Amino acid sequence: MADTISTPRMQKALEAMCDTIETEKDYLSELDGAIGDGDHGVNMAKCFREVKKKLAESTAADMNILFNDVGMVVLNSVGGAMGALYGTFFLKMAQESAGKSELGLGDLVRMFQTAEQGILDIGKASLGDKTLLDTLAPAVRALEQSANAGQSLAEAMANFEQAAQKGMESTTDMLAKMGRASRLGERTIGHQDAGATSCYFILRSLASAVAN
């Protein structure tokens, strides 16, 4: 298995991401309905349908153009905080992959670190606040550890996905401290966060680029 991800492989992974969000939209809205507005899945699916249209037209030769296209669509298609957060995520990935048509593990570490920092800068959430950060941060730490241990790209992305899943699941026991859910206080304990869940689906899809 190659130890780099090509632009066409990443594009396939991003298309799979759009399909996953579409498939899981009802589940995401159900999770959101327990402690939020109940529209997270609908909004995400609407947005990623537009992303899929953009990807279908794409002739991106490098990762920067590919991720920038996705980021701009997300930023303009999802209202509120989620559009800004996920838009920033993809745009920061684009920024860190300028001029690259292949990504190695070191590239991915830098891209995800920059994307995480972008979300920290605009979201103002901390680890443990029951947000998408609780999925993203453990995944990025796992990727860093894999790189430091000299693991293969496939091993690193498997660890990345596993850490993202554990992070997502950990939000069930957390008290929401951000957004509308924070008003419900103790009632938010026992419910998995919808944003953390959509983040997991996105990260899992990106990890699948290794196998495409």
For the chain, give the secondary structure using H, E and C: CCCCEEHHHHHHHHHHHHHHHHHCHHHHHHHHHHHCCCCHHHHHHHHHHHHHHHHHHCCCCCHHHHHHHHHHHHHHHCCHHHHHHHHHHHHHHHHHCCCCCEECHHHHHHHHHHHHHHHHHHHCCCCCCCCCHHHHHHHHHHHHHHHHCCCCHHHHHHHHHHHHHHHHHHHHHCCCCCCHHHHHHHHHCCCCCHHHHHHHHHHHHHHHHHCC
Task: Please state which architecture CATH assigns to domain 5-210.
Answer: Alpha Horseshoe (1.25)
Counting as low any pLDDT under 70, the low residues of the chain are: 1-2, 79, 175, 178-185, 187, 211-212
pLDDT tens string 57-107: 988 889 999 999 999 999 988 767 788 999 999 999 999 999 999 999 999
The answer to whether the predicted template modeling score (pTM) of the entire model surpasses 0.85 is: yes
Structure confidence at residue 183 (pLDDT): 65
Structure confidence at residue 161 (pLDDT): 96
Structure confidence at residue 176 (pLDDT): 75
